[in-house]
Amino acid sequence: MQHIGKALRGFIKNSGLEKVLDQQSLIDSWEDVVGEKISKNAKAKSIEYGVLKVQTVSPTWRQELHLQKKRDYKQIK
């Protein structure tokens, strides 16, 4: 007899749900990743075609995240 955890992991992998669950885990971890200040002003909503969609409370916060994205991308390169 197979352990239920192993059976569920196998089902998730074979059904193609693994990627969906990984993406949901990322969305659920938003506050831990970006911190309290940003998470109060911007919420991770979905992932579409590999792009994280974020909803901000104002255009100012949208601009702030956009500027940080450019800065952080340059640091990674």
pLDDT in tens, 43-72: 999 888 888 899 999 999 999 988 887 666
- Separation CA 3–CA 58 (nearest Å): 48
Supply the pLDDT for residue 2: 67
CA distances for 2 relative to 5, 11, 36, 60, angstroms: 8, 12, 42, 53
Rounded to the nearest integer, the mean pLDDT of the chain is 82
55 - beta bridge partners? 43
Q: Give the contacts of 31 (CB within 8 A, at least 6 positions apart).
A: 39
User: What's the start-to-end Cα distance of the chain, in Å?
Assistant: 49
Q: What is the value of pTM for the model shown?
A: 0.63
Task: List the domain boundaries for the chain.
Answer: 4-76
